Amino acid sequence: PKTDIVFLKVHKSASSTVMNILFRFGETHNLTFAFPRGGGFQLYYPYHFLATFVQGFSPLSPRRFNILCHHMRFLQPEVQKVVPSSAVYFSILRNPVQLMESSFVYYRGASAFSRVRSLEEFLRQPHRYYSPHSGDRHYARNLITFDFGFNPDGDASPERVRLMLKAIEASFDFLLISEYFDESMVLLKERLCWDLDSVVSFPLNSRDSSTKSTLPEAVVEKLKAWNRLDWEIYTHFNRTFWERMDRDIGRERLRREVRALRARRAELARACLQGTGSVAPKDIKDSSLRPLQHGGARILGYNLKQGLDPELERTCRRLVTPELQYSSLLYKKQFPPPPP
């Protein structure tokens, strides 16, 4: 199994669920994480990543960390200072149309969105509300492009797009697609030589469908044009994802593996969860399992069954522990506070 991993956590792309998978694998195998200094939750995002942002990193010591997975703006030469040279690099992408719809609800306070009532209103005259100079501009334009370290306001000429795609391909071993999450987990398992239980998960940080909206076709076209760089990245890597799938796994085996993954998830849900799945924030009984609520989104969580045996309870709890709580827990384990 591969144990040295860089995961670029792209916003609003099922990346919290992938992070939970990495947290569980790292904890089970006693691996080290490149945590933000002081135990924060982001590596000084939205600045480009620097090795000095990592707790315990020193340019004088050759120490390397196994897993780098907290939010960062990618800059490979700096990343290479904190992980072994053998590290596997991957990320996950989401269709930029749904990504921006989600971003609009989640980051309503962002300067570009705060004066409009709807995404449609914003897209009618985006330059009226959007400033390329504001510190939070990336939430409103080409968020994928930004997280990968590029300029979200750069020109979208074919040559520039080609160079950007080449740069991503040179840095990353593979990219997953959140719309095909289960298929992506099969590919992840294959590429990292992990077992099925290592990649099984419950969806985390997902929002209540009452805040989701379907966009009219005219708005979708405007949105693609506004996020042209993201659209180019997504369509390119969606295509290469399926090419890789056909080459490395094949559709018949893929179907079998996806079936096995879904069956295992359903089995764990029956064993672990009260009811049939996720619940609204107000209905989460254990406050330590309540995810952070942000913007206009209502982030769902889970209730565990009572009276589980300790080993199963531990497995179940890890599967549903929200990102911030899990990160804090692992940070304290890796950097125990000095005794009083």
Give pLDDT tens digits for 267-290. 999 999 998 789 988 999 998 998
pLDDT score of 211: 64
Per the structure block, which two tokens stand in for 19?
A: 């992070």
Is residue 15 situated within a structural domain? Answer: yes
Is residue 340 situated within a structural domain? Answer: no
Residues 130 and 276: their CA atoms lie apart, in Å, by 42
Is residue 67 situated within a structural domain? Answer: yes
Per the structure block, which two tokens stand in for 186?
A: 């099969």
pLDDT score of 164: 98
Is residue 243 situated within a structural domain? Answer: yes
Q: What percent of the chain has pLDDT over 90?
A: 87
Is residue 339 situated within a structural domain? Answer: no
DSSP state of 68: E
In terms of Cα–Cα distance, which of 2, 201, 173 is closest to 91?
A: 173
Is the dihedral angle over the CA atoms 111, 112, 115, 117 positive or is it negative?
Answer: negative
Using CA atoms, how far residue 290 sits from 278, 282, 286, 325, in Å, is: 11, 9, 7, 9
pLDDT tens for each residue of 3-54: 999 999 999 899 999 999 999 999 999 999 999 999 999 999 999 999 999 9
Per the structure block, which two tokens stand in for 227?
A: 């996020």
Structural domain count, the chain: 1
If phi over 0 gives left and psi between -120 and 50 gives alpha, with beta otherwise, what is residue 295? left
The amino acid at residue 283 is: D
pLDDT tens for each residue of 319-337: 999 999 999 999 999 999 8
Tell me, what CATH number does 270's domain have? 3.40.50
Residues 10 and 188: their CA atoms lie apart, in Å, by 16
Residues 117 and 135: their CA atoms lie apart, in Å, by 21
Is residue 82 situated within a structural domain? Answer: yes
Across residues 202-219, what is the average pLDDT?
81
Strand partners for 8: 91
Is residue 69 situated within a structural domain? Answer: yes
Does the pLDDT of residue 294 top 80, yes or no?
no
Is residue 297 situated within a structural domain? Answer: yes
Residues 6+ apart with CB under 8 A from 13: 92, 93, 94, 99, 144, 178
pTM equals 0.95
Using CA atoms, how far residue 252 sits from 134, 180, 258, 259, 292, in Å, is: 49, 16, 10, 11, 39
pLDDT score of 64: 96
198 lies in which domain range? 5-334
Burial 134-171 (b: 16+ CB within 10 A, else e): eeebbbbbbbbbbbbbbebeeebeeeebeebeeebeeb
Across residues 119-131, what is the average pLDDT?
96
- As a whole number of Å, the end-to-end CA separation of the chain is 39
Residue 24: count other Cβ atoms within 10 Å of its Cβ: 21
Round the CA-based radius of gyration of the chain to a whole number and report it.
20
Does the pLDDT of residue 212 top 90, yes or no?
no
User: Mind giving me the DSSP string for 211-262?
Assistant: G--PPPHHHHHHHHHHTHHHHHHHHHHHHHHHHHHHHHT-HHHHHHHHHHHH
Q: Rounded mean pLDDT of the chain?
A: 95
pLDDT score of 295: 67
The amino acid at residue 172 is: F
pLDDT score of 210: 66
Query: 213 pLDDT band (50/70/90 cuts)?
Result: confident
Strand partners for 304: 273
Across residues 206-212, what is the average pLDDT?
71
Does the pLDDT of residue 180 top 80, yes or no?
yes
Does the pLDDT of residue 107 top 70, yes or no?
yes
Residues 188 and 285: their CA atoms lie apart, in Å, by 33
Across residues 117-134, what is the average pLDDT?
95
